[in-house]
Structure 1
Amino acid sequence: MKVAVLDIKGKDTGRKVDLSDSVFAIEPNNHAIYLDVKQYLAHQRQGTHKSKERAEIAGSTRKIKKQKGTGTARAGSIKSPIFRGGGRIFGPRPKDYTQKLNKNVKRLARKSAFSLKSKEKSIFVLEDFTFETPKTKDFINVLKSLGLENKKSLFVLGDSNNSVYLSSRNLKQSEVIINSELSTYKILNANSIVLTEGALEEIESNLNK
């Protein structure tokens, strides 16, 4: 599949690139996408939730009333979960939510996500670019030129570019990442994907292993 290479003003440069059919035109595997997105979301959880149990509560250990003759249930400690301020029964404990996923499944998921976006004609190829200084206004002009001003967009760069990243950081609808930060979730979460020529080469190289 051939796609025109655009410049930052949204104009055709006269050059075209081939999008590899093995990455951008496969039959999407929905289950692979589900597994990869599930892993990504699980990894966003810190797992630091914790409540104090009976043994961790600060308080006296003396018996708070005599065993018999009060007419009420026996009680041996103010730290008991049945009292206000006592420990919590079966409360949350720190947990590791990370999940393992086969590399081949992850590649298949990303290929499937790219193929879905390709069918929707939501993939743009942009020539490599940079800004002299970080300016949000310059990045907004790029979005306007591509018709992406009011859409969720994901820009994938071949190499880290601090000027471009800082120029986009204040815009909620747009995100700039490098190839190594790419994930199935981010691909699907964006309405449009903008790949620079350098990023496209790396993506096809990595996903065709």
Structure 2
Amino acid sequence: MSISVVKYTGEDTGRKVTLSSEVFGVKPNDHAIYLDVKQFLANQRQGTHKSKQRAEIVGSTKKIKKQKGTGTARAGSIKSPIFRGGGRVFGPQPRNYSFKLNKKLKEVARKSALTYKALDKSIAIVEDFNFEAPKTKEYLNMLSALALSDKKTLLVLPEANKSVALSGRNIQNTKVVMANMLTTYDVLNADNLILSEGSIEKIDNLLKK
């Protein structure tokens, strides 16, 4: 698939880039995508939820009423789960939600996600660029020039660029990542991908194996 390369100002450079069929033209594997996205979201969970069990409640352990003759069920400690303020039965405890996935499966998932974007024609390629200083207005002008102002976008850079990253940081529905940090979730969560020309080679080197 060939895509025209434009400048970040929206001007056509007259050049085209052919996306690798090994990365942007594979047979999508939906289950691999599901597992990769599931792992990504699971890894975001802190897992710090906690409720106190009966043994952790601060309170008296004195028997609150006599065993027999009250006409109600027998009861011991006030910390019992059946009383207000007592411990919780089978409550949440701190845990780690992360799980392992094979590297090859994650590569298949990323290729599948990129293929879907290519099939949807939701990929724009811009000539490598840089801002002299971090300016949100410059980033907004770029989105406007690419007719993506009303879209959720993901800009992929070949390497760290502080000026560009800071320019897009405060813009809603916009994210800037480096090619080696690209995830299946980020690709699918965006309506459109904006690939910096130099990032294509980086993505190919990462996924062409």
Q: TM-score, normalised by structure 1?
A: 0.96
User: Secondary structure at 2:124's aligned position in 1?
Assistant: strand
Q: Matches of 1:17 and 1:83 in 2, distance apart?
A: 69
Residue of structure 2 equivalent to 1:37: 37
- Hey, what does 2:19 align to over in structure 1? 19
Q: In the alignment, which residue of structure 1 is the partner of 2:80?
A: 80
Deviation of residue 71 (structure 1)?
Answer: 2.2
RMSD (Å), alpha carbons: 1.1
2:111 aligns with 111
Once the 2 structures are TM-superposed, how far is the Cα of residue 147 of structure 1 from its aligned partner? Answer: 0.5
Q: Give the whole-Å Cα distance in 2 for the aligned partners of 1:153 and 1:71.
A: 67
CA distance in 1 between partners of 2:121 and 2:82 (Å): 60
2-side partners of 1:95 and 1:5: how far apart? 47
- The structural deviation recorded for 1:15 is 2.3
Q: Which residue of 1 aligns with 2:137?
A: 137
Q: Secondary structure at the match of 2:142?
A: helix
1:207: Cα distance to partner?
A: 0.3
Structure 1 residue 14: Cα displacement: 2.2
Residues 94-150 of structure 1 show CA distances to partners (whole Å, capped at 9, x for unaligned) of: 121112111111111111111111111111111111111111111000000000000
Q: Aligned partners of 1:25 and 1:12: how far apart in 2?
A: 25
Tell me how many residue pairs correspond in the alignment.
Answer: 209
- Cα deviation, 1:25-64, whole Å, max 9, x if unaligned, reads 1111111111111111211221111100000001111112
Q: Normalising to structure 2: TM-score of the pair?
A: 0.96
Q: What letter is aligned with 1:12?
A: D
Matching residue of 2:182: 182
Alpha-carbon contact 2:180-2:206 (below 8 Å) kept: no
SS at match of 2:63: coil
Superposition map of 1:118-197 within 5 A: 118-197=118-197
